[in-house]
Amino acid sequence: MKLDKNLWVLVLICVINSLGFGLIFPLMYQYGKQFGLTKDTLGWLMASFSIAQFFATPLLGALSDKFGRKPILVISLAGTFISFVLFAEARSLIMLFGARILDGITGGNISVAQAMVSDSSTSENRARNFGILGSAFAFGVVIGPATGGLLSKFGLQVPFYFAAAVSLLGVMLSMAFLKETNVDGRKNVSTPNYLDIFKSLVTVFRRPVIGTAIFTGFLLTMAQLAMAIGFQVFAIDVLKVNTVTLGWFFAAFGIVGICAQLGVPFVTRTFKSKSFILMWSTVFCCATMFLTGFAQGFLVFGICLSIYGLFNGLRNPMINAIIAENNSKAEQGKVMGINQSYVSLGQILGPITAGYVGACSVHSIFFLSSFYILVALLFSIRLSSKQQH
């Protein structure tokens, strides 16, 4: 599989960046308790990042359309570096929130990296390249918790300093080796107006293909994050596993998703229509998630979620490729930023709604997730129809 050097650099940067996030994610609650963090405020601490990212990523994407991808990506990675240092040096709960909000505000690295991939891809290899980029993010998230757990033995602050160090490495790699991909496109782009960009969070849905793809991704993200809550509750309360085994469960689920994304080239060679692939992968996700709601033991639970993880891994590469192919180069960064905004919103609403529904029973969480996927399936069918039209 021949890849351009810039994509390899982006892959390495994505692994480093997601590794940093994976390092600190499981340790937030334990670390923050010394500053008065509770289970309730933990939810808000995690949501503060996504809320800040929801408003910031479209602007960062639009700025990358005007001033280039590389400087915005470097600034985003630098913001992540500073946020990890602030988290490690925190002396109060306010500092913890400030660090996560700063990371969210500068958290445009995902959408900017996606725009860079889109800039340098063709219609034939775009989905493949998005799959490779997605698997790089997933790989860092998978190995991050285990690394963070090992480092925490030397002190709870150590993983946060290590996360800051790997983020700084990402900054240096970007500055030294990454080539600008938006050299010509930015010449005719006007300076972005934030009010117009904020309006575009709503007006994007007037664009038949792009708006439908973004909303489909939003629903599927809500479904996945709701499932993640059900996953933890079912594994601990029903299967009675310990936290170490739960970590291995999550790692296995992540590896299945990585395999699916690395298999995108084979899938796109077999089925040319990306909306067709998205539609049928959503069908399998919906069916297996619904069956998960009836699981009583490990066998059915494990099989259903493995199949779900496999087909869910095709989601982002297909959606990102559809958005990129139906968008002008002058707005690639902005629209990818808007898409990431709705991913962030789904990451907020999914766990919240799962928490309310889970008060009835853990099985109802999986039924809620399957309902979100069912609605997404209807929109994916509409998306396929719009693309054909």
Q: Are residues 2 and 114 in the same domain?
A: yes
Rounded to whole angstroms, the Cα distance separating 36 from 58 reads 33
Q: Rounded to whole angstroms, how far apart are CA atoms 331 and 189?
A: 8
Q: Looking at the structure, do residues 218 and 352 belong to the same domain, yes or no?
A: yes
Asked if residue 130 belongs to a domain, the reply is yes
Whether residue 155 sits in one domain with residue 13: yes
What angle (nearest 5°) sits at the alpha carbon of residue 298, between those of residues 297 and 299? 100
pLDDT of residue 1: 45
Separation CA 287–CA 225 (nearest Å): 17
291 found inside a domain: yes
**Residue 330 belongs to what H/E stretch?**
none
Nearest CA among 11, 268, 225 for reference residue 114: 11
Q: Cα separation of 18 and 94, whole Å?
A: 24
**Residue 100 belongs to a domain:** yes
Same domain? For 32 and 149 the reply is yes
Structural domain including 309 reads 201-389
Looking at the structure, do residues 47 and 82 belong to the same domain, yes or no? yes
pTM score: 0.82
Domain count, the chain: 2
- Among 177, 211, 227, the domain boundary falls at 177
Residues in Cβ contact with 299 at an 8 Å cutoff, skipping those fewer than 6 apart: none
Using CA atoms, how far apart are residues 341 and 55, in angstroms rounded to an integer?
7
pLDDT of amino acid 22 = 74
| Cα angle: 331, vertex 336, 340; to 5 degrees | 150
| Domain-embedded: residue 189 | no
**What is the C-alpha separation between 95 and 267, in angstroms, rounded?**
46
Dihedral angle sign, alpha carbons of residues 42, 253, 160, 83: negative
If you write DSSP's letter for every residue of 23-61 in order, what string do you get? HHGGGHHHHHGGGT--HHHHHHHHHHHHHHHHHHHHHHH
For 144-157, the pLDDT digits (tens) are: 777 877 888 888 88
In a domain, 47, yes or no: yes
Neighbour tally for 296: CB within 10 Å: 11
Q: Do 349 and 233 fall into the same domain?
A: yes
Please give the C-alpha separations between residue 58 and each of 109, 129, 322, 323, 375, in angstroms, as whole numbers: 11, 22, 18, 14, 25
Q: Of 222, 210, 150, which is closest to residue 331 (Cα–Cα)?
A: 210
User: Is there a single domain that holds both residue 160 and residue 236?
Assistant: no
Q: With respect to residue 187, please indicate whether it lies within any of the assigned structural domains.
A: no
Q: Same domain for 291 and 364?
A: yes
Please indicate, yes or no, if residue 196 is contained in any of the structural domains: no
Give yes or no for a contact between 50 and 347, defined as CB atoms under 8 angstroms apart: yes
A 10 A CB-CB count for 53 gives: 27
pLDDT of residue 308: 93
User: Could you say which of 144, 177, 210 is where a domain stops?
Assistant: 177
Report the number of secondary-structure helices (H) and strands (E) in the chain.
17, 0
Q: Select from 177, 210, 239 the last residue of a domain.
A: 177
Mean pLDDT in runs of 10 for the chain (389 residues)? 72 81 73 78 79 87 87 91 91 91 83 86 84 84 78 85 89 89 68 75 89 95 89 82 69 83 87 90 96 91 91 90 86 87 89 84 92 96 77
Question: In whole angstroms, what is the distance from residue 165 CA to residue 176 CA?
Answer: 16
Q: Which two tokens stand for residue 337?
A: 């930023």
pLDDT digits (tens, 9 = 90+) for 349-389: 988 888 888 888 889 999 999 999 999 999 999 888 876 66
Please state, as a whole number, how many other Cβ atoms lie within 10 Å of the Cβ of residue 123: 10
As given in the structure block, the two tokens for residue 271 are 């089925």
Q: CA-to-CA distance for 279 and 370, rounded, in angstroms?
A: 14
Instruction: Say yes or no: 130 and 164 in one domain.
Output: yes
In terms of residues, how long is the chain? Answer: 389
Give me the pLDDT at residue 378, please: 95
**Whether 119 and 249 share a structural domain:** no
Going by the DSSP 8-state scheme, the letter that residue 179 receives in this structure is P
Candidates 188, 180, 182, 189; CA nearest to 74 is 180
CATH number of the domain to which 205 belongs: 1.20.1250.20
If we measure between CA atoms, which residue out of 349, 340, 280 comes closest to residue 315?
280
For the chain, the C-alpha Rg in angstroms (whole number) is 20
Residue type, 20: G
Same domain for 237 and 384?
A: yes
Shared domain check, 140 and 234: no
